Copies of this chain bind each other. A is one copy, B any other.
């Protein structure tokens, strides 16, 4: 077993997409471990707190008129003229990787264990040792066209500080309404439509003393984690799918084991979208977006060895924690295949919790029937009396419902 280190840098990250075409940042064997740094793509909401003097973050976010260190941001066109910028922001998450797994082939399952998760402290001397995150109540939020206070609509950034002295929790520091921001290439961003645009704090009005009596218990986790799909060379990081991706379940933190179907040779694992805390639904469009570093272990389960294990017949992402198993249902189980060539832009027109609930039901039924050898009648009775279905997210185009069954249900008597 080897323990690898994968720091953030322009060559170790890709921005806004999963891809089978990107050269691996790291190649490892089943059983290996890796410490992987991840950056929040919202760090530029407060450059001073989340980027300044951090060599890794500065190297990735660097963007002047002369030089943009990571040009492509998103799975969209990279030939101008651009509406929003290279990649067009069709996908927004900073992802570290890909990590190639030796010998991984389509049909295999990659298990990823999260051994530890740590916040990334500010490197700015003014905020030394402190950790910060940003929540964007954004145009893609569930609330956006349903606001009651003026001005309508509006996007709002709230900056949080993470206190890790005891049980970690987050406190709001200030918020501001997004105002049009001009990027170094001269493109104006009237809304949060392209990732990594530095917010000019002279153009926004900060409101302090917000949420004064609130502290948000931390749930450190990775919102986006998964493998490269086979269907397209560049796949937007926003809609989750059959190889995982932007699942946005706060349970994907320390101690979690995620299982992903391998779709391409080498698996091509990437991770990012780190979160300090999020609720089930991610209502406003984002969590507390905070740079994190994780320790991971990778175990490749070959297709020929899956029979008779909990992974038999698995065709979608699945979570195991000490307490439970969760199956991830989506509006479309595989929107790339189901919606065809315009899938990545069309999916946003089809978002549905009702369909995600249907998918989660079918996946949990399959798990109980295949893995636990239940009849369909046993599986449905058990789901009705003991399985909990929750709203994973209503903001990632391919909306999600998770179906969970507690492990103590299976204790023999």
Contacts and interface: CB of A to CB of B under 8 A. Distances in A.
A354 interface: yes
B389 A281 contact: yes
A141 interface: yes
A128 interface: no
Contact of A279 (B148, B352, B377, B385): B385
Contacts of A279: 383-389
Pick the most buried of A142, A160, A403: most chain B CB atoms within 10 A of its CB. Answer: A142
A285 interface: yes
Contacts of A352: 354
A365 B177 CA distance: 19
B284 A394 contact: no
Nearest to A138: B384
B357 A146 contact: no
Interface string A257-300: 00000000000000000000111111111111000000000000
Contacts of A282: 384
B361 A409 contact: no
A65 interface: no
Contact of A284 (B215, B283, B384, B403): B384
A361 B283 contact: yes
Question: Chain A contact residues: over half helix, strand or loop, or mixed?
Answer: mixed
A413 interface: yes
A385 B135 contact: yes
A386 B283 CA distance: 10
A256 interface: no
Interface in A202-224: 210-211, 213-217
Pick the most buried of A282, A365, A409: most chain B CB atoms within 10 A of its CB. Answer: A409
Contacts of A142: 357-358, 361
Contacts of A277: 385-386
Nearest to A176: B377
A280 B406 CA distance: 12
A376 to B, nearest CB: 4
A123 interface: no
B137 A409 contact: no
A217 B408 contact: yes
Given A383-B284, A389-B281, A149 B375 contact: yes
Of all A-B residue pairs in the complex, the 4 with the closest CB atoms, nearest first, are: A284-B384, A280-B388, A281-B389, A353-B353
20 contacts: A137-B377, A137-B380, A137-B381, A137-B384, A141-B380, A142-B357, A146-B358, A149-B375, A175-B377, A211-B374, A214-B382, A278-B384, A279-B383, A280-B388, A283-B383, A283-B389, A284-B380, A287-B384, A287-B385, A389-B394
